[in-house]
């Protein structure tokens, strides 16, 4: 089983907590983990967890980027920590356990004032995604949802407009992926059209998804305590950019 998670926001220890829950409590065999962005690629957090505390994930972990990563140093950091997790760049296709995944990290946060530089998916990255042959992708993994699939706005954020990134429908039309997974919105979601089933993942502190080797996907709720102690969160809360409740931190 591939475990699918999202939005760790530097609380990396939650990955092993959820793997252990899936294996020891539920009895699943987890072979690898795919992380859908906002992993928290920040120098100090990575150094603290992997180098100082000498922690490591108990299964191989692949991740795309979200909108809360250090985009100024992302390339350097993912290279430095390549023995701990594998970063999948935007617009690239990867064979993982027999599935061909198109990776498309990034998201515009709802307010351009606080969107981090490098977070927004560019037209060039969409074009790169579309450059692959039509029959070369089974599953799309993105951080944000494609616009137009019916993901509702977070209450209070309606004035930012429809959730999602543009041109996702071009990707769906070209590859007709069986599945499309995304995170970012911190809530469970599913919908389908003629070719594709779309699943939105909640934050890792609320649970995870399990993908078997025949396109069957199950969402599992398992609430883990979330401590509001992250460095970035503290700053953002202080600046009143996000509210203290994790639901507003996407
Ligand atoms: Fe996000």
The tens digit of pLDDT for each residue in 14-66 reads 999 999 999 999 999 999 999 999 999 999 999 999 999 999 999 999 999 99
* The predicted structure's pLDDT at residue 247: 40
Q: Is 247 helix (H, G, I), strand (E, B) or coil?
A: helix
Per the listing, tokens 């799309």 go with 140
Report CA(7)–ligand 1 centroid distance (Å): 7
Residue-averaged pLDDT of the chain: 90
Angstrom CA distances, 111 to 67, 148, 166, 238, stand at 12, 19, 16, 17
The phi and psi torsions of 249 (rounded to 5 degrees) equal -100, 95
The tens digit of pLDDT for each residue in 152-207 reads 887 777 777 789 999 999 999 999 999 999 999 989 999 999 999 999 999 999 99
Report CA(9)–ligand 1 centroid distance (Å): 9
DSSP one-letter string for 129-145: HHTS-GGG-SEEEESSP
User: Helix (H) and strand (E) counts for the chain?
Assistant: 6, 12
Interval 85-89 mean pLDDT: 98
Report CA(48)–ligand 1 centroid distance (Å): 22
188 Cβ contact list (under 8 Å, min separation 6): 200, 201, 202, 206, 207, 219
Instruction: For residue 77, give its domain range.
Output: 2-248
- Ion ligand 1 residue ranges (Cβ < 5 Å): 38, 66-67, 184, 250
Count of domains observed in the chain: 1
Edge-first strand order for the sheet with 2-5 is: 86-87, 61-63, 32-35, 2-5, 207-211, 217-221
Report CA(85)–ligand 1 centroid distance (Å): 19
Half-sphere CA count of 244, side-chain side, radius 13 A: 4
Q: What is the DSSP-derived secondary structure letter of residue 234?
A: H
Report CA(36)–ligand 1 centroid distance (Å): 9
Per the listing, tokens 């102690």 go with 229
CB atoms within 10 A of CB 243: 12
The phi and psi torsions of 33 (rounded to 5 degrees) equal -125, 135
* The predicted structure's pLDDT at residue 110: 64
Interval 103-114 mean pLDDT: 79
Report CA(213)–ligand 1 centroid distance (Å): 27
Above 60 in pLDDT, residue 244?
no
The phi and psi torsions of 196 (rounded to 5 degrees) equal -130, 140
Half-sphere CA count of 86, side-chain side, radius 13 A: 13
CATH of the domain at 171: 3.60.21.10
Report CA(193)–ligand 1 centroid distance (Å): 24
Query: pTM value?
Result: 0.90
Above 80 in pLDDT, residue 148?
yes
């Amino acid at each position: 089983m591939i475990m699918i998670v999202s939005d760790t926001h530097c609380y990396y220890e939650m990955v092993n907590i959820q793997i252990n829950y899936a294996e020891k409590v539920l009895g699943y065999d987890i072979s690898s983990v795919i992380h859908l962005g906002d992993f928290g690629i920040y120098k100090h957090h990575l150094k603290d967890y992997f180098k100082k505390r000498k922690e490591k994930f108990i299964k191989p972990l692949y991740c795309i980027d979200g909108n809360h990563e250090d985009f100024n140093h992302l390339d350097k950091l993912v290279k430095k920590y390549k023995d701990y997790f594998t970063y999948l760049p935007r617009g690239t296709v990867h064979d993982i356990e027999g599935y061909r995944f198109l990776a498309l990290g990034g998201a515009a946060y709802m307010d351009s004032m606080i969107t981090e530089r490098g977070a927004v998916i560019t037209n060039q990255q969409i074009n790169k995604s579309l450059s692959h042959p039509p029959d070369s992708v089974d599953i799309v993994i993105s951080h944000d949802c494609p616009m137009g699939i019916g993901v509702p706005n977070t209450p209070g954020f309606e004035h930012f407009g429809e959730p999602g990134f543009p041109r996702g429908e071009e990707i769906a039309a070209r590859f007709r992926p069986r599945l499309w997974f995304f995170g970012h919105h911190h809530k469970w979601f599913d919908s389908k059209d003629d070719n594709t089933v779309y699943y939105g993942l909640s934050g890792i502190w609320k649970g995870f998804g399990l993908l078997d080797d025949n396109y069957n996907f199950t969402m599992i709720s398992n609430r883990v305590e979330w401590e509001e102690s992250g460095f970035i969160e503290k700053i953002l809360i202080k600046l009143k950019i996000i509210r203290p409740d994790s639901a507003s931190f996407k």
